[in-house]
Amino acid sequence: MNVDQANKIILKPYITEKTFAMVENESKICFIVERSASKPEIAEAVKSLYNQNVTNVNTARTIYGKKAFVQFENTEKARDLATKIGML
């Protein structure tokens, strides 16, 4: 997957107090993603955009759009990526 395709899938990070705490407690970062994106596509897009391995992806449809809760191998990797994208 190239960067343009990945940018069409991963729209933006979703930042609230709850998702902020998820970085530290569960090694997860929440993104708003394209409505038609599947879990494997989301994982591949995160890997191509941020060069991080994803261990799990959960999705939820909300009034804000489709949210993807992306879990990483450990808290350090999640914290580094959150800092890189401007969450922390």
Domains of the chain by start residue, with CATH? 3-84 (3.30.70.330)
Rounded Cα distance between 16 and 1, Å, is 29
**pLDDT computed for residue 50 by the predictor:** 93
**pLDDT computed for residue 54 by the predictor:** 95
- Both tokens assigned to 21: 């705490």
Backbone angles phi, psi at 55, to 5 degrees: -95, -30
Find how far residue 36's CA is from the centre of its chain: 15
pLDDT band at 84; cut points 50, 70, 90: very high
> Mutual orientation of helices 17-26 and 75-84 as an angle, nearest 10°?
140
Give per-residue pLDDT as tens, 2-33: 999 999 999 999 999 999 999 999 999 999 99
> pTM for this structure?
0.93
Give per-residue pLDDT as tens, 42-79: 999 999 999 999 999 999 999 989 999 999 999 999 99
